[in-house]
């Protein structure tokens, strides 16, 4: 259902122990294992994927097509295609999504705001607990 499009490659990494202060723009894919203090924006031309790992934290707005979070985000999240919240995801801010997959244990302190055309309901998928 969600895997119909080929994901862009992850070409950039903010490594654990690294800290970036300021806004960050990327193309294709970005994995954050460190800390970002500022907005993270995918280049609007082409598909994008952003991974916030368990060890990562981000403070600022996030904008990407496919967003996978297993760390801490303080600020609004805008996932234009799919938002995946892994078990250790912690979000303090409103979440805007077209489709949402949320694992047990993920926490959102903010509002869920579906992006949709007209009055259609967004796609929600309950993640299976694989024990």
Domain locations along the chain:
31-113
Query: Considering only 7-11, 15-19, 63-67, which range has the smallest mean pLDDT?
Result: 7-11
Where does residue 10 rank: exposed (0-12), middle (13-18), buried (19+ CB within 10 A)?
middle
What angle (nearest 5°) sits at the alpha carbon of residue 36, between those of residues 16 and 30? 70
Tens of pLDDT along 48-84? 999 999 999 999 999 999 999 999 999 999 999 999 9
pTM over 0.95: no
The fraction of the chain above a pLDDT of 90, given in percent, is 79
């Amino acid at each position: 259902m969600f895997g119909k499009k080929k994901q862009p490659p992850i070409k950039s990494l903010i490594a654990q122990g690294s800290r970036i202060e300021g806004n960050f723009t990327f193309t294709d894919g970005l994995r954050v294992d460190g800390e970002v203090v500022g907005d993270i924006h995918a280049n609007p031309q082409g598909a994008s994927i952003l991974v916030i790992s368990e060890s990562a934290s981000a403070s600022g707005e996030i904008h990407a097509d496919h967003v996978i979070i297993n760390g801490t985000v303080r600020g609004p999240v805008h996932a234009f295609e799919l938002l995946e919240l892994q078990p250790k995801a912690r979000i303090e801010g409103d979440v805007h999504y077209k489709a949402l997959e949320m694992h047990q244990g993920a926490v959102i302190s903010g509002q869920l705001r579906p992006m949709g055309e007209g009055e259609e309901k967004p796609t929600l998928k309950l993640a299976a607990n694989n024990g």
